[in-house]
């Protein structure tokens, strides 16, 4: 299936093509919009496109043609997750409650993208409320965008909550996308759709203008088809900006921990096989590996309070017509049939609403500080004691059927980095049943994001595991 641009072209390649006149931003934007129109009815990856995108692209072309200074992403179309404010478009978080919520300004990271010359193409679908409304809804479903589909096998989960961003990147609906993560929401969907997902160290990307869950863990990050593009986006949205060197090879003496991750009951032979193959590849690259065990912190008792406090503040400041606090949101969802409350419930919303009747704000904040400090201390100890450059672990398990039974064997490794605020990146590493993507994640030292990107790029170039999706309706029998 023809892509909007050659699959192997990176952001750097596209910029070079535009600089030499082989391509214009207007042409690239038009191709992306046409591809969205053709594929999105089946994938449900995009919630909205920005009608101003073509004119923005033409303006960049005129500036480039006149010899004016253009930014490091000049003319590159980007899709952003629809819990990130973009001025002029609603920020729905996938909920009908926010269909008329119009932000007063761009989110901080969108301001940086526009300043670098990027063309904001539109907004991607997501698990409603970034998967914080309920335990019961399928990953990738929202009443605004529908059910996002995995482009490798359409009846399989895309995972979430940044499902639309991951699927859009995998299907070439835009050169690059942005997702958000509180607990695995970049890493899991990126791995399940055979793309690169980078969760930066907490605090490296500004959180202003993002529909919140927990200010202690929320972060935005790139979801792209290769590490070089993730680095190009991060270099623009990161604070402070530091050079990212994507030089081939690993430094002499590189040591990498290998962790088996967190596993539910069931067989995980394919994830084990891919992890073993990735470990062997690291040895080929000259790295030493050592098995490690990481802490699995539980933050489920504090996040309900953090969500209530943060979402009430966000709703109080957001423009447009919408519920003004969590109590109003709960009432809206119960009254709107499209929100399917009888099917999926509101259990996380309801726990959050009651959270401040269980413990005091001071107790919650003290508990959060303890969890964060203990997690960071444990991870720092592992890195320092074993002299590790990174820790590798399985990103995901075999994607299950969207409408299959409720309990599925699953593997993940997002918890320590998410709670501790450490950077992590998933890279395609193999396939289950020859079709269902599997990835491995690398966790880096806190605030050493640029070094982690370099390591991931070396692994990616040595393995080249990613293949294009085939849009199979189901697995071959």
Q: Which residues are catalytic?
A: 81, 161, 185
- Quick one: tokens of 292? 């490690």
DSSP 359-385: S-HHHHHHHHHHHHHHHHHHHHHHHHH
Could you give phi then psi for residue 437, rounded to 5 degrees?
-65, 145
Do residues 200 and 221 touch, judged by C-beta distance below 8 A? yes
Do residues 307 and 352 touch, judged by C-beta distance below 8 A? yes
Running DSSP on this structure, what letter comes out for residue 145? Answer: T
Do residues 100 and 80 touch, judged by C-beta distance below 8 A? no
> Residue 15 forms beta bridges with which residues?
none
CA distance 443 to 199: 9
Residue 393 is inside which H or E element, if any?
Answer: strand 390-394
Cis, bond preceding 161 (omega within 30 deg of 0): yes
CA distance 164 to 180: 11
CA distance 438 to 194: 7
DSSP 430-446: EEETTTEEEEEEEEE-T
Q: How far is the CA of 183 from the CAs of 37, 132, 371, 417, in angstroms?
A: 31, 10, 14, 9
Running DSSP on this structure, what letter comes out for residue 398? Answer: P
């Amino acid at each position: 299936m023809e892509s909007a641009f050659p699959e192997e072209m990176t952001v750097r390649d596209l910029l070079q093509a535009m600089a030499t006149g082989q391509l214009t931003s207007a042409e690239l934007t038009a191709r992306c919009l046409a591809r969205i129109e053709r594929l999105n009815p089946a994938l449900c990856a995009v919630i909205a496109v920005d009608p101003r995108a073509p004119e923005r692209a033409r303006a960049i072309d005129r500036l480039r043609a006149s010899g004016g200074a253009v930014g490091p992403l000049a003319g590159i179309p980007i899709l952003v997750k629809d819990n990130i404010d973009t001025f002029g478009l609603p920020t729905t978080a996938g909920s009908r409650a926010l269909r008329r919520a119009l932000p007063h300004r761009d989110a901080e990271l969108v301001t940086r993208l526009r300043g670098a010359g990027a063309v904001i193409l539109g907004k991607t679908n997501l698990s409603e409320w970034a998967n914080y409304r309920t335990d019961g809804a399928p990953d990738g479903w929202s009443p605004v965008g529908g059910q996002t589909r995995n482009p490798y096998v359409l009846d399989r989960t895309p995972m979430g909550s940044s499902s639309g961003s991951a699927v859009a990147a995998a299907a070439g609906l835009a050169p690059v996308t942005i997702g958000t993560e509180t607990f695995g929401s970049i890493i899991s969907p990126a791995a399940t759709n055979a793309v690169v997902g980078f969760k930066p160290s907490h605090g490296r990307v500004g959180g202003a203008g993002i529909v919140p869950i927990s200010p202690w863990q929320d972060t935005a990050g790139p979801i792209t088809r290769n590490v070089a593009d993730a680095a190009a986006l991060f270099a623009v949205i990161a604070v402070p900006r530091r050079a990212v060197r994507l030089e081939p090879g690993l430094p002499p003496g590189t040591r990498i921990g290998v962790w088996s991750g967190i596993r539910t009951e069931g067989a995980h032979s394919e994830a084990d096989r891919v992890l073993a193959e990735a470990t062997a590849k690291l040895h080929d690259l000259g790295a030493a590996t050592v098995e490690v065990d990481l802490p699995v912190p539980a933050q489920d008792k504090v996040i309900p309070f953090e969500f209530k406090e943060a979402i009430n503040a966000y709703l109080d400041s957001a423009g447009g017509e919408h519920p003004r606090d969590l109590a109003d949101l709960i009432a809206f969802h119960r009254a709107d049939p499209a929100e399917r409350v009888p099917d999926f419930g509101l259990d996380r919303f309801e726990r959050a609403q009651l959270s401040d009747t269980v413990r005091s704000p001071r107790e919650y904040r003290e508990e959060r500080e303890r969890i964060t400090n203990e997690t960071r201390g444990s991870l720092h100890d592992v890195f320092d004691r074993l002299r590790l450059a990174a820790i590798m672990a399985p990103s995901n398990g075999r994607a299950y059927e969207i409408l299959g039974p409720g309990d599925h064997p699953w593997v993940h490794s997002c918890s320590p980095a998410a709670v501790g605020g450490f950077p992590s990146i998933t890279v395609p590493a193999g396939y289950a049943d020859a079709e269902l993507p599997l990835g491995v994640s690398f966790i880096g030292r806190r605030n050493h994001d640029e070094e982690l990107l370099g390591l991931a790029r070396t692994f990616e170039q040595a393995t080249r595991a990613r293949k294009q999706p085939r849009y199979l309706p189901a697995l071959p029998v």
